[in-house]
Amino acid sequence: MSTLTSAEWQALLLSLQVGFLSVLASLPLAIGLAWLLSRKRFPGRMLVEALMFLPLTLPPVVTGYALLVLFGRNGWIGQWLDPLGIVFAFRWTGAVLAACVMGFPLLVISIRVAFDQVDQRLERAAETLGASAWRRFFTIVLPLSSRGIIAGCVLAFARAFGEFGATITFVSSIPGETRTLSIAIYELMNLPGGEAGVARLTWVAFAIALAATLIAAGLGGSLWGRRRHD
Amino acid sequence: MIELEIGHAFADLAIDIRFRANSRWLALFGDSGAGKTTALNAIAGLLEPERGRIALDGQILFDRCAGISISAGARDVGYVFQDGRLFPHLDVRANLMYGARARKRSTADMMSLVDLLDLGALLERMPLSLSGGERQRVAIGRALLSQPRILLLDEPLIGLHREARMQVLDYLSRLKQEIDIATLLVSHQPEEAAALADEVILLDAGQVSAQLDVATFAARQKISVPASQAG
C-alpha cells in the first residue's frame, strides 16, 4: 500500500482533530447528564433520554439538516452566534458540532453504565465521613467509574471519527476545512481512478476503528452489564 | 446523651423506637429485623424517619415537627458499617485520612490510632487484600479519625470467623479503655453487647422492649438467649 497523499493526510488529520475535540467538548455535559440519569429521578426524565437518543435513531442526514436549521448563519441559534463571531456552518467547527451530537448518546450511555456500577453504599459511607456531594463525586464516583468513562470516550471518538451523513449535510465538503476522512472516501469513490485512495483511507479507517473498539472493550470489561447498589 | 423517638413504616415492618440514654457505650440489641440498623441510619442521617425527633447531647439532629434535619455529613458521626465499606480504589492510609480531610480535622492523632488498632503494617495495602478483621479495624480507624461526636458500630463483628471476631472485640475493648467517645453498638450477639456496652436497649419487632444496665442484661441473657444467638 502506497503512502497517503497530502489531501488524504489532510482528511485523516481533520478527522482525528474532529474526533478528539468533539469528545473533549461533549465530555463535561455527558458526565453531568449521565450522573443525572443514573442518580436522580426528575420530571421529564424520559423526554431527556428520548432526545438524547435521537441522533442514534434519526437518519444522520436529518440530524445534519436540523443542525443547519439551528446553527446555520441564519438559523434559530446561529443568527445570535454569528455577530459574536461563532460560526458553525461550512466550517470545521461545524464538523466538530455534528460529531458531538452524533457521539453524545454513546458517551452518555457508557458513562451512565459506569456510574450505575459504582456501589452507592460507598457514597453514603463517604457522606457520613463529612464529604460534600462534590467531594464524593470527585473522590469516589469519578475514580471508580474512570474505566467506563474512558471506554465511552473511545467509542464516541470512533463514532465521531467516522461521522459522515450529518457532517456532509451540515458543513458540506470543503478541502482542508470540512472534508473529513469519510467524506474524502465518498468523494474518491465517485472519482475516476480514485480506487487506490479509497483503499488507503479505508485501511486507515479500519485500523483506527478496530483499535478504538478493542481499547473500549478492554477498558469497559462488562461494559453493558448493569449492577445497581442501593 | 442520646434521645431518640422515631417512627417509620417499611413494607414489612413498622418501627416505633423511643429511648433516652446517657451511657458512654450503649448497645442496641435484638434479632435481625428488630430495627437496630434503622435506628443507626436515622441517627447518622442516612434515613429520614416519617416522624419523630433525634437529639445528641442536646443538639437536635432531626425533628419532623420542627422541620429540622441536619445532613448526614454535618452530623459529626462516625459510622462503621457491617461490611466496612472501605473505598476500594484508595489504600489504607488514604481510607484512614478520608474523613479527617473531608472534615478538615487535625491528623496529628493518626499514628496513635494506627498504633492502637495495629494498622501500621497495613497502611500501604489496598482494601481488597485485607482480611475481614483487618478491614473492620481500618473502618473503625477511619471513622474515629474523622473525630466524630459519636461512634456508630453496626454489627462490626458480623461475618468474621471466630478468631477474627475475638481479635476485633479485643481491639474494641482497648478502644473503650483508651478513647473517650460516646459509642452506640448494634449487635445481635449477647456476648458482644455484654463485653462492650455499659447499658443495653433491647429491641423487638421495631420497638424497645427493655432498657437494662449491662449486669442485668447479662444475667437475663444467661437464662433466655437462644443457642443460635449465643454462637
Summarize pLDDT for B9-55 with one digit per residue, the tens: 998 889 999 999 999 999 999 998 889 999 999 999 999 999 999 99
* Residue type (1 letter), A228: R
**Distance in angstroms (rounded) separating the CA atoms of residues B217 and B202:** 9
Asked if B61 contacts B54 with a C-beta cutoff of 8 angstroms, the reply is yes
**Distance in angstroms (rounded) separating the CA atoms of residues A219 and A213:** 10
Chain A: residue nearest B81 by CA? Answer: A125
pLDDT at res. A218 = 79
Query: Which residues in A lie closer than 8 A to residue B75 (C-beta atoms)?
Result: 128
Domain spans of chain B, in order of start: 2-76+149-230, 91-148
Give the lowest-confidence range in A50-54, A217-221, B183-187, B219-223.
Answer: A217-221
Query: Which residues in A lie closer than 8 A to residue B89 (C-beta atoms)?
Result: 143-144
ipTM associated with this complex: 0.89
Shortest CB distance from B89 goes to which of A125, A127, A144? A144
pLDDT at res. B108 = 75
CA within 13 Å, CB half, A143: 12
- Grade residue A129 by pLDDT with cuts at 50, 70 and 90: very high
Measured in whole angstroms, the distance separating CA A190 from the mean position of its chain's CA atoms is 28
Nearest to A163 by CA among A111, A97, A223: A97
- Tens digit of each residue's pLDDT (9 = 90 or more) over B51-107: 999 999 999 999 999 999 999 999 999 999 999 999 999 999 999 999 888 887 777
Give yes or no for B146 touching A (CB within 8 A): yes
Give the lowest-confidence range in A61-70, A210-219, B114-123.
Answer: A210-219
Number of A/B CB contacts below 8 angstroms equals 59
- Buried b / exposed e across B1-17, counting CB within 10 Å, b at 16+? ebbbbbebeeeeeebbb
pLDDT at res. A228 = 40
For residue A177, pLDDT over 60 is answered with: yes
Q: Give how far A145 is from chain B: nearest CA, Å.
A: 11
| Mean pLDDT computed over B142-162 | 93
Inter-chain residue contact B46 with A128, CB threshold 8 Å: yes
pLDDT at res. A227 = 43
Give the lowest-confidence range in A208-217, B133-142, B181-190, B193-202.
Answer: A208-217
Q: Residues B22, B28, B31, CA angle at the centre, nearest 5°?
A: 165
pLDDT at res. B202 = 96
| Mean pLDDT computed over B163-187 | 92
**Distance in angstroms (rounded) separating the CA atoms of residues B167 and B170:** 5
B99 vs B126, residue with greater confidence: B126
In CATH, the number for domain A6-220 is 1.10.3720.10
For residue A222, pLDDT over 80 is answered with: no
Taking the CB of residue B227, how many other CB atoms lie within 10 A of it?
Answer: 6
Dihedral (CA of A93, A96, A102, A104) sign: negative
Architecture of the domain delimited by B2-76+149-230 = 3-Layer(aba) Sandwich (3.40)
A contact set with B (CB within 8 A):
121-122, 124-132, 135, 139-140, 143-144
- Buried b / exposed e across A32-70, counting CB within 10 Å, b at 16+? ebbbbbbeeeeeeeeeeeeebeebeebebeebbbbbbee
Give yes or no for B99 touching A (CB within 8 A): yes
User: Residue A228 to residues A39, A222, B191: CA-CA distances in angstroms?
Assistant: 11, 14, 35
Nearest to A125 by CA among B92, B95, B62: B95
Domain spans of chain A, in order of start: 6-220
Query: Which residues in B lie closer than 8 A to residue A131 (C-beta atoms)?
Result: 73, 98-99, 102
